[in-house]
Structure 1
Amino acid sequence: MQNKFESYFAKKGEFKSIELTLDRISSALDFIDFDEKRLGKIIHIAGTNGKGSTAYFLHQSFIKANFNCVLYTSPHLESITERIVINNSQVEINTFNDAFDATKQAIEKFKLSYFEAITLIAFYIFQDLSPDISIIETGLGGTYDATNVLVDKIPVITTISQDHINFLGKSIYQIIDEKLNIIKSNQKVYIGKNENFIVNYIKNKLIGKSIFFSQCNKYLKSFPPPFNHNYELARLILKNEFQIDIPPADLLKLPPCRLEKIKNFLFDGAHNPSGIINLINNIDNIDTAIISGTLDRDIIKTIEIIRKKIKKVIITEIPNNERSIKVKEINIPGIYKISDPTLAVYKALELNGKSDILICGSLYLCGHLKKVIRDKFV
């Protein structure tokens, strides 16, 4: 069935109408008579890395504890309906299209960007369901992220590092402030694994708040780093706020494209230096990597880190993505540059021998190549 939202935004582009303001989304929500209280208890998650897995661990835990729970994440890998999850199932396309029809007037009237519009649709669907709990992940930053219209919530900040420098600033302290700005009058704040200087900065910024820092239990068998830290953060929230235990790790799944294996391909959405460092510490028996990235990230630094462990590196482009790097503009000796990601897979198979092939650097690339590999190589 046709996805009306994607058809509408096909010519507008995903990032061409970004403005640093909450005025448009706030006005649109007022226009559709949105009532935040109908979302139940809200968990709002920001951070550079770990948002997705923390959100997934929480969502699965609530479902197993018989709560009605909805989840809003980004980006999607293959279908935009992946972003809107209701009790562990992505929203049906009929429901999604009906919600787009119902909100289209507001989208047009207030000239919403792609992310603002999908946020409007998600909130429209969620308030109609009146869930017990809504888990909402920020898209980019915090201060002017469309999700930051939410007020009465449990703010959660995962790991913070430098990312999206074109939008959030080059200073790590600017980026920390961006994330912390999801905290409004909320008294309790949950913080994930971070370096000591970030922890101390947060403590000084949030004087008067009740701050809960998660601590990873080294003797607990859960997930490999950094997912073990996100598992512990989810555990802390569940225990403190809902008095429930997180299920054992073997009963929970990681989000798609996080250490996901298909045949001899390993997919991981790590896309910034700190994420890539964690990734290469978790992998063995990989001789070849296919990577890409967006223009607002440091692809050169990413390649430098990967090459410390993986000798054969192919850089490629993200199809139909206006922010994708252009391989002809990357000047690094000793790597392969292939703009077509499908051809990059063929090259990787030619180079690789019997070891696994890593695909990383962009969730968009992982989503595209998952489909290609399922269709052509599995």
Structure 2
Amino acid sequence: MNPIYLDYNATTPIDPLVVDEMLPYLREGFGNPSSNHPYGQKARQAVDLARARLTSLLTCDPAEIVFTGGGTEANNQALIGTALANREKGKHIISTAIEHPAVLNPLRWLEGQGFTVTLLPVDDTGFVDPEAVRRAITSDTILISVMHANNEMGTIQPLAEIGAIAREHGVLFHTDAAQSVGKVSTRVDELRVDLLTVAGHKFYAPKGIGALYVRRGVKIDPYLHGAGHEGGRRAGTENVPAIVALGKAAELAAERLAGDGERVLALRERFHARLRELVDGVVLNGHPTDRLPNTLNVSFKGVVGADLLARTPEIAASTGSACHDGSGELSGVLKAMGTSREQGFGSVRFSLGRLTTAEEIERAAEVIAVQVKELRAIRGGITHNHVETGLSALASCAG
């Protein structure tokens, strides 16, 4: 039997309806959307429909959607493209210490180009204080970038409040919504964002397709330079099958958002309750209420999360400890939250999804409880020396 999949924040399986929608464009619908003949026009119509479907999910104008090769590209274009296009106004950017590397690394690159970056702290639940954003704004600030929901903890940030502050000061506001699109409401007008990143493989579309919402009137460098695709904002012949898939995934997300959210939240809460019933010393990481409905990050006292996952091949999940080239360091998110090393190394992220069942949750809780008890019995509890030198097989920190 396949392992119980509880790593939906890393990636999701492609929904069968999404596969059905894209297959014709891998076969007979091969035209170039820029061509004027019937083959090209059929492809153009498919791209336009996908754009409209994503527009409906985000509640924006179709002209404000730029299709990209994924969430990482969208983040790079949002950050680097906005910085380069607006550098005559200033060179200061504000972000947070818990952003995904697809945001942090472009920001580091921009620092090498003469920009200044302020990374704001978070509290012990991973929450950003909007007033800290206000205090960080200077006359040189041109962009604020705060993720909508954290990939490790699921903590949802107060974007509407931050967006109001950004508009008050005339500063552009970007959010990496890779983890939140399709899981919670991501209406751009409610979030008060100027730019928003979408990653298809996080909500049942294929890998290698994403989008960037760019509010009408926002000045942004095309980042990829070539022919005038995507309204001159992203060069490259459109990946029609993947775009079609993204559009269908967006349509399904819009239809199922409320129902899926309620069902997955109930499963997550049941899973958490069962873990606490079956084993002592389960500590929640992240915000107790303001987090993604599918995400449960917990630490097991006296256990290293990577060791626990290595002993439970029946379950596919991720450790909360990052795998910084095997260095055994805590993830930047846990560090920013002020999490202790013992608690941090004991953390595991479970993320549920559309295919998760109650039976899987029950089985997973039972398997984990058995292994936690065995590890505690074997090791007699985690020690400082074990944290420093005895970590084995650090698990993946994907997504």
Name the TM-score, length of structure 1 as normaliser: 0.31
Name the TM-score, length of structure 2 as normaliser: 0.30
Q: Which of the pair has more CA radius of gyration?
A: 2
